[in-house]
Structures are given as C-alpha cells and as structure tokens.
Amino acid sequence: MEPKRHFRKRWLWASLNVAGMVLFLKVGSALWAPPGEEGMPGGPGDAFSFFLAAVPILVAFLLLDVAALAWILVRTPRADRWRAMALWFAVAALWCGVVAFDHHRSVREIDARYAVLGDRAPEARSAGTVC
C-alpha cells in the first residue's frame, strides 16, 4: 500500500477513537455528581448504570485498538511501523486519560458528616459514650 493510503487509514482510526472518547465521556457524564453536590450520598448513577452504558463502549474500542495493534505488528512494513506505533500509543494514552478523568468525576467520596453508624446521633458518638 502506498504511504498516503496508510496515512488516511491511521487518521480515520484515530478519529474514530476520538469520537469514541467523546461518546464515552458523554455517557459517563450522566453519572457524575452534579456541581455543588460533591461529597453527598446518592446521586444520578450507580455501578449498574456504568456497566450497562459505559463499559460496552470501552470494550468495543479496546477490541478495535487491539485489532489495530495486531494489524500494525503484522501488516505494516517495518520501515513505517514506528509511526503507526507512535500514533497507537498516543491514542492509548488519550484513552487512559479519558478513563482517569471519568473515574475522577464519577467516584463519590462521601463527606464524614453523612457517615452515621447505627441509631445513635452524631453528638452521642462524639461524646465518647459506648452502647
């Protein structure tokens, strides 16, 4: 294949991955804590929503990218392989950043004022009484 055709395929693949990243963030953003509600329990999404909506997108693009890596290693001429691998690693790094950003926005660290243990009021716990 001539180099121009390789170039088109690579950038089509990279563009498809960027579209997948946008789709993943769009789906994932529905499960993020709304502004001003960080640290509060509850929220718009849970693990089931994430696994039913976002994980299939990740799996589809993981399979696409593993197939692209196999194609690069097997079918790309040795002299041109380093460019293709550099693009593949750049796209993989972007995916890692997108998943890390989604994780950062979607994980809820519940504020301590909402952590009530048992039936006792928070004042009783702070006084050091034992039940």
What per-residue confidence (pLDDT) applies to 17? 98
Answer yes or no: is pLDDT of 112 > 80. no
pTM check: above 0.85: no
- The residues, ordered by sequence, that sit 6+ positions from 44 with a Cβ below 8 Å of its Cβ are 30, 31, 32, 33, 34
pLDDT of residue 30: 86
pLDDT number for residue 123: 58
**What CA–CA distance (Å, rounded) separates 25 from 31?**
10
pLDDT band with cut points at 50, 70 and 90 for residue 35:
confident
Q: Which long-range contacts (CB under 8 A, 24 or more apart) does 25-29 make?
A: 25/98, 25/101, 25/102, 27/53, 27/54, 27/57, 28/53, 28/54, 28/102, 28/105, 28/106, 29/105
Of the given ranges (13-22, 44-53, 122-131), which has the lowest mean pLDDT?
Answer: 122-131
Domain boundaries, the chain: 3-126
What is the per-residue pLDDT across 55-86, written as a single tens digit (0 to 9) for each?
Answer: 999 999 999 999 999 999 998 888 889 999 99
Q: By percentage, how much of the chain surpasses pLDDT 90?
A: 45
For all residues of the chain together, what is the average pLDDT? 83
CB atoms within 10 A of CB 120: 13
